[in-house]
Amino acid sequence: AQSVTQLDSQVPVFEEAPVELRCNYSSSVSVYLFWYVQYPNQGLQLLLKYLSGSTLVKGINGFEAEFNKSQTSFHLRKPSVHISDTAEYFCAVSEISGGYNKLIFGAGTRLAVHP
């Protein structure tokens, strides 16, 4: 069965500092990988996704992530964070099979950016 582990439940960081949010997954088949962001009392917004091709994926708001198949990881990075990046971040995986995909989410990482 698939599973997703987000290694840090909370990440505090100062404004303009770099940040990395870690995500590891477990699956016996090929997968698609996603990062979503959730602001308070809102739904999820897609940051970026890996489907195939280049292992370095660039997303919105200056975020990027690198797919590492050997380490089964998909860590999210941003070189310089802003106060507005404070939110909950979710890593998700779906299997490549059938005609649809259900997402399996990690428990989330709360990013707190301090001035």
Partner 1 sequence: DTGVSQDPRHKITKRGQNVTFRCDPISEHNRLYWYRQTLGQGPEFLTYFQNEAQLEKSRLLSDRFSAERPKGSFSTLEIQRTEQGDSAMYLCASSLKTDTQYFGPGTRLTVL
> Which residues contribute to the site for partner 1 (CB under 8 A)?
4, 32, 34, 36, 41-46, 49, 51, 90, 92, 96, 99-108
**Nearest CA to 29 among 73, 69, 74?**
69
Query: Considering beta carbons, is residue 51 or 56 the nearer one to partner 1?
Result: 51
Nearest approach, Cβ of 61 to partner 1 (angstroms)?
A: 17
**Nearest CA to 89 among 48, 42, 50, 35?**
35
Nearest approach, Cβ of 15 to partner 1 (angstroms)?
A: 25
Query: Considering beta carbons, is residue 71 or 100 the nearer one to partner 1?
Result: 100
Per-residue CA distances from 68 to 39, 50, 51, 75, 82 (Å): 27, 11, 13, 9, 27
Query: Considering beta carbons, is residue 15 or 32 the nearer one to partner 1?
Result: 32
Query: Considering beta carbons, is residue 49 or 77 the nearer one to partner 1?
Result: 49
Going by C-beta distance under 8 Å and a sequence separation of 6 or more, which residues neighbour residue 16? 80, 81, 82
Nearest approach, Cβ of 80 to partner 1 (angstroms)?
A: 27
